[in-house]
Amino acid sequence: MTQPAVVVLRRSILAVFVLGVVGSFAELLLLGHDEDLPQFIPLVLFGVALALLAWAAATGTRPAFLAFRATMALFIVAGLVGSWLHFQANREFQLEVDPSLAGWALLAEALQAKSPPALAPGVMVQLGLLGLAWTFRHPRLESQDPSTRS
């Protein structure tokens, strides 16, 4: 018997989410993204998300799914703030290198800098959206009947 397409799609979204979180966590650790408090934020959020997924899988309760959703909102905020912080660091560096930079030229240099990559924290936004997509109209949020788990 084949499973409904929505179940397969939901599980696929979850698999991509988990791979993205584990891969991003490993990458940040390997890059030494743990020098100060703001750099720990994505690492902590990744750990919290995986713990909440384990809670949701173990219990299937509405509070577990709602806590996961709230964490996905924090992923999105963290990604936006992280991109801004990366951009600001690049902007300051570019101005130290060439104080005459301004306007579009400064923006382009800051966005194209390799370290830190200004848009890399956008992965947090993508993962947050994937997590929210996984919970969209999830049966566990609409019913407390254990037979509706997926």
| 126 vs 142, higher pLDDT | 126
Decide: residue 4, CB within 10 A, 0-12 exposed, 13-18 middle, 19+ buried.
exposed
Asked if the structure places residue 101 within a domain, the reply is yes
Does some domain include residue 65? yes
Residue 136 pLDDT level (bands cut at 50, 70, 90): very high
**Total domain count for the chain?**
1
Q: Would 108 be classed as within a structural domain?
A: yes
In a domain, 64, yes or no: yes
Task: Answer yes or no: is pLDDT of 144 > 80.
Answer: no
Q: pLDDT band for position 2 (50/70/90)?
A: low
For residue 130, is it within any domain? yes
77 vs 98: CA distance, rounded Å: 31
Confidence of residue 150 (pLDDT cuts 50, 70, 90): very low
- Sort residue 61 into left (φ over 0), alpha (ψ -120 to 50) or beta: beta
Q: What range does the domain containing 40 cover?
A: 5-140
Q: What percent of the chain has pLDDT over 70?
A: 93
Residue 88 reports pLDDT greater than 60: yes
Residue 93 domain-assigned (yes or no): yes
* Between 141 and 63, the higher pLDDT residue: 63
Please, what sign has the CA dihedral across residues 25, 27, 30, 32? Answer: negative
**Average pLDDT over every residue of 113-137:** 93
Each residue's pLDDT tens digit, 47-83: 999 999 999 999 989 999 999 999 999 999 999 999 9
Burial of residue 90, with CB atoms counted within 10 A of its CB: 0-12 exposed, 13-18 middle, 19 or more buried: buried
Angstrom distance (rounded) from CA 126 to CA 137: 19
- For 37, the token pair is 């408090």
Lowest mean pLDDT among 20-24, 42-46, 59-63, 127-131: 59-63
pTM given for the model = 0.87
Q: How many CB atoms within 10 Å of residue 142? A: 10
